Amino acid sequence: MSLTLRQRNRLAAIHVIMDTAMDLFDERGYNAVTIDEIAAASGVSPRTFYRYFGTKEGLFTTDPFAMVGLDLYSAQLDPDDLPGTLKRLIGLFDESPGHSPWRGMRYVLEEPAVRAAVYGSLDEAAERLATQLRDRGDPPAKARVMARTFWFGVYFGSLEQWHLDGRSRPLLDYVLEGMAALTAVKTTRDSS
Protein backbone atom coordinates (compact mmCIF):
# COMPACT_ATOMS: atom_id res chain seq x y z
CA MET A 1 0.00 0.00 0.00
CA SER A 2 1.52 3.27 -1.14
CA LEU A 3 0.59 6.40 0.81
CA THR A 4 1.47 10.02 0.15
CA LEU A 5 3.37 11.91 2.84
CA ARG A 6 0.18 13.77 3.76
CA GLN A 7 -1.77 10.49 4.09
CA ARG A 8 1.00 8.93 6.21
CA ASN A 9 1.08 11.97 8.51
CA ARG A 10 -2.70 12.06 8.87
CA LEU A 11 -2.87 8.30 9.49
CA ALA A 12 -0.14 8.61 12.13
CA ALA A 13 -2.10 11.40 13.86
CA ILE A 14 -5.28 9.32 13.80
CA HIS A 15 -3.43 6.37 15.32
CA VAL A 16 -1.94 8.60 18.04
CA ILE A 17 -5.45 9.72 19.01
CA MET A 18 -6.75 6.13 18.98
CA ASP A 19 -3.81 4.76 20.98
CA THR A 20 -3.92 7.65 23.47
CA ALA A 21 -7.63 7.05 24.00
CA MET A 22 -7.04 3.33 24.63
CA ASP A 23 -4.27 4.20 27.12
CA LEU A 24 -6.66 6.52 28.97
CA PHE A 25 -9.47 3.95 28.90
CA ASP A 26 -7.09 1.30 30.26
CA GLU A 27 -5.96 3.62 33.05
CA ARG A 28 -9.30 5.11 34.13
CA GLY A 29 -12.11 3.20 32.46
CA TYR A 30 -14.06 3.99 29.32
CA ASN A 31 -16.84 6.03 30.94
CA ALA A 32 -14.45 8.11 33.05
CA VAL A 33 -12.61 9.57 30.05
CA THR A 34 -13.95 12.54 28.09
CA ILE A 35 -13.33 13.56 24.51
CA ASP A 36 -11.68 16.76 25.75
CA GLU A 37 -9.23 14.67 27.79
CA ILE A 38 -8.45 12.41 24.83
CA ALA A 39 -7.88 15.42 22.59
CA ALA A 40 -5.63 17.18 25.13
CA ALA A 41 -3.56 14.05 25.79
CA SER A 42 -3.22 13.49 22.03
CA GLY A 43 -2.12 17.06 21.35
CA VAL A 44 -5.10 17.92 19.16
CA SER A 45 -8.14 20.11 19.60
CA PRO A 46 -11.54 18.62 20.49
CA ARG A 47 -12.70 19.91 17.11
CA THR A 48 -10.08 17.72 15.38
CA PHE A 49 -11.22 14.72 17.43
CA TYR A 50 -14.84 15.32 16.42
CA ARG A 51 -13.87 15.76 12.77
CA TYR A 52 -12.10 12.40 12.76
CA PHE A 53 -14.34 10.31 15.01
CA GLY A 54 -17.57 12.16 15.83
CA THR A 55 -18.01 10.39 19.17
CA LYS A 56 -15.99 8.27 21.59
CA GLU A 57 -17.64 5.23 20.06
CA GLY A 58 -16.32 6.42 16.69
CA LEU A 59 -12.87 5.38 17.89
CA PHE A 60 -14.10 1.79 17.41
CA THR A 61 -16.05 2.20 14.19
CA THR A 62 -14.16 4.71 12.09
CA ASP A 63 -11.93 3.32 9.34
CA PRO A 64 -8.65 5.27 9.62
CA PHE A 65 -7.71 4.38 6.06
CA ALA A 66 -10.98 5.79 4.71
CA MET A 67 -10.27 8.97 6.67
CA VAL A 68 -7.09 9.50 4.65
CA GLY A 69 -8.81 8.79 1.33
CA LEU A 70 -8.14 5.07 0.92
CA ASP A 71 -10.87 2.51 0.34
CA LEU A 72 -9.13 -0.72 1.33
CA TYR A 73 -12.43 -2.54 1.73
CA SER A 74 -13.52 -2.15 -1.88
CA ALA A 75 -10.04 -2.94 -3.14
CA GLN A 76 -10.05 -6.25 -1.23
CA LEU A 77 -13.67 -7.26 -1.77
CA ASP A 78 -14.35 -10.16 -4.07
CA PRO A 79 -18.00 -11.25 -3.78
CA ASP A 80 -17.04 -14.58 -5.36
CA ASP A 81 -14.36 -15.19 -2.72
CA LEU A 82 -15.62 -13.94 0.65
CA PRO A 83 -13.18 -16.12 2.64
CA GLY A 84 -10.29 -14.65 0.62
CA THR A 85 -11.69 -11.16 1.16
CA LEU A 86 -11.69 -11.62 4.91
CA LYS A 87 -8.15 -13.05 4.91
CA ARG A 88 -6.90 -10.08 2.89
CA LEU A 89 -8.64 -7.54 5.15
CA ILE A 90 -7.21 -9.08 8.31
CA GLY A 91 -3.79 -9.18 6.67
CA LEU A 92 -4.01 -5.46 5.93
CA PHE A 93 -4.97 -4.65 9.50
CA ASP A 94 -2.20 -6.83 10.89
CA GLU A 95 0.32 -4.97 8.71
CA SER A 96 -0.59 -1.59 10.23
CA PRO A 97 2.80 -0.52 11.68
CA GLY A 98 2.89 0.62 15.29
CA HIS A 99 -0.85 0.32 15.82
CA SER A 100 -3.07 -2.60 16.75
CA PRO A 101 -6.58 -2.19 15.38
CA TRP A 102 -7.77 -4.89 17.76
CA ARG A 103 -6.56 -3.19 20.94
CA GLY A 104 -10.01 -1.88 21.86
CA MET A 105 -11.80 -5.22 21.54
CA ARG A 106 -12.20 -5.38 25.32
CA TYR A 107 -14.35 -2.26 25.21
CA VAL A 108 -16.42 -3.63 22.34
CA LEU A 109 -17.29 -6.61 24.54
CA GLU A 110 -17.71 -4.75 27.84
CA GLU A 111 -19.23 -1.36 26.99
CA PRO A 112 -22.83 -1.44 25.71
CA ALA A 113 -22.54 1.89 23.84
CA VAL A 114 -19.38 0.73 22.05
CA ARG A 115 -20.89 -2.65 21.21
CA ALA A 116 -24.03 -0.98 19.81
CA ALA A 117 -21.91 1.36 17.67
CA VAL A 118 -19.84 -1.55 16.36
CA TYR A 119 -23.01 -3.51 15.56
CA GLY A 120 -24.30 -0.48 13.66
CA SER A 121 -21.06 -0.28 11.70
CA LEU A 122 -21.17 -4.02 10.93
CA ASP A 123 -24.79 -3.63 9.83
CA GLU A 124 -23.76 -0.92 7.36
CA ALA A 125 -20.93 -3.11 6.03
CA ALA A 126 -23.32 -6.05 5.69
CA GLU A 127 -25.80 -3.91 3.76
CA ARG A 128 -23.07 -2.71 1.37
CA LEU A 129 -22.01 -6.31 0.78
CA ALA A 130 -25.62 -7.49 0.35
CA THR A 131 -26.11 -4.80 -2.30
CA GLN A 132 -23.02 -5.98 -4.16
CA LEU A 133 -24.19 -9.58 -3.97
CA ARG A 134 -27.66 -8.62 -5.28
CA ASP A 135 -26.03 -6.59 -8.05
CA ARG A 136 -24.15 -9.68 -9.21
CA GLY A 137 -27.45 -11.60 -9.37
CA ASP A 138 -27.92 -13.26 -5.99
CA PRO A 139 -31.53 -13.36 -4.74
CA PRO A 140 -32.17 -10.76 -2.00
CA ALA A 141 -32.59 -13.28 0.84
CA LYS A 142 -29.41 -15.14 -0.09
CA ALA A 143 -27.46 -11.87 -0.42
CA ARG A 144 -28.64 -10.63 2.98
CA VAL A 145 -27.92 -13.90 4.79
CA MET A 146 -24.50 -14.25 3.19
CA ALA A 147 -23.53 -10.65 3.99
CA ARG A 148 -24.68 -10.81 7.61
CA THR A 149 -23.06 -14.22 8.11
CA PHE A 150 -19.82 -12.86 6.69
CA TRP A 151 -19.67 -9.73 8.88
CA PHE A 152 -21.44 -10.80 12.07
CA GLY A 153 -20.83 -14.54 12.10
CA VAL A 154 -17.35 -15.06 10.73
CA TYR A 155 -15.68 -11.66 11.17
CA PHE A 156 -17.12 -10.49 14.48
CA GLY A 157 -17.56 -13.99 15.91
CA SER A 158 -13.90 -14.74 15.19
CA LEU A 159 -12.73 -11.46 16.73
CA GLU A 160 -14.84 -12.08 19.80
CA GLN A 161 -13.58 -15.63 20.39
CA TRP A 162 -9.98 -14.63 19.67
CA HIS A 163 -10.21 -11.94 22.35
CA LEU A 164 -11.99 -14.21 24.84
CA ASP A 165 -9.26 -16.84 24.38
CA GLY A 166 -6.63 -14.29 25.37
CA ARG A 167 -5.35 -13.63 21.84
CA SER A 168 -3.13 -16.67 22.20
CA ARG A 169 -3.25 -17.64 18.51
CA PRO A 170 -3.33 -15.56 15.34
CA LEU A 171 -6.71 -14.01 14.55
CA LEU A 172 -6.59 -15.59 11.11
CA ASP A 173 -6.73 -19.05 12.76
CA TYR A 174 -10.11 -18.12 14.26
CA VAL A 175 -11.36 -16.78 10.93
CA LEU A 176 -10.38 -20.01 9.21
CA GLU A 177 -12.14 -22.03 11.93
CA GLY A 178 -15.26 -19.88 11.53
CA MET A 179 -15.27 -20.42 7.79
CA ALA A 180 -14.74 -24.15 8.30
CA ALA A 181 -17.78 -24.20 10.60
CA LEU A 182 -19.89 -22.68 7.82
CA THR A 183 -18.56 -25.24 5.37
CA ALA A 184 -19.46 -28.00 7.83
CA VAL A 185 -23.03 -26.67 8.07
CA LYS A 186 -23.31 -26.59 4.28
CA THR A 187 -21.82 -30.08 3.98
CA THR A 188 -24.23 -31.44 6.61
CA ARG A 189 -27.18 -29.81 4.84
CA ASP A 190 -26.08 -31.12 1.41
CA SER A 191 -25.73 -34.70 2.67
CA SER A 192 -29.21 -34.73 4.27
Q: How far is CA 141 from CA 46, 115, 133, 145, 154, in A?
A: 43, 26, 10, 6, 18
Residue 145 near residue 124, CB atoms below 8 Å? no
Q: Is the pTM of this model over 0.95?
A: no
Mean of the per-residue pLDDT values for the chain? 87
The angle subtended at Cα 177 by Cα 172 and Cα 178, nearest 5°, is 95
CA separation for the pair 44, 13 (Å, rounded): 9
The whole-number pLDDT of residue 94 equals: 61
The whole-number pLDDT of residue 130 equals: 95
CA separation for the pair 145, 148 (Å, rounded): 5
Query: Residue 94 CA to chain centroid, in angstroms?
Result: 12
pLDDT in tens, 94-152: 655 555 667 788 899 999 999 999 999 999 989 999 999 999 999 999 999 999 998 89
Instruction: Write out the DSSP string of 47-65.
Output: HHHHHHHSSSTHHHH--HH
CA separation for the pair 56, 35 (Å, rounded): 7
3-state secondary structure of 141: helix
Structural domains in the chain? 1-70 (1.10.357.10), 71-192 (1.10.357)
What are the residue ranges of helices labelled H in the chain?
A: 5-28, 35-42, 46-53, 58-61, 64-67, 72-76, 82-94, 105-110, 112-135, 140-148, 157-164, 171-191
The whole-number pLDDT of residue 67 equals: 79
pLDDT in tens, 155-164: 899 889 988 9
Residue 129 near residue 150, CB atoms below 8 Å? yes
3-state secondary structure of 68: coil
CA separation for the pair 26, 46 (Å, rounded): 20
pLDDT in tens, 63-80: 887 777 777 677 778 888
CA separation for the pair 117, 140 (Å, rounded): 25
The whole-number pLDDT of residue 124 equals: 92
Q: How sure is the predictor about 47, in pLDDT bands with cuts at 50, 70 and 90?
A: very high
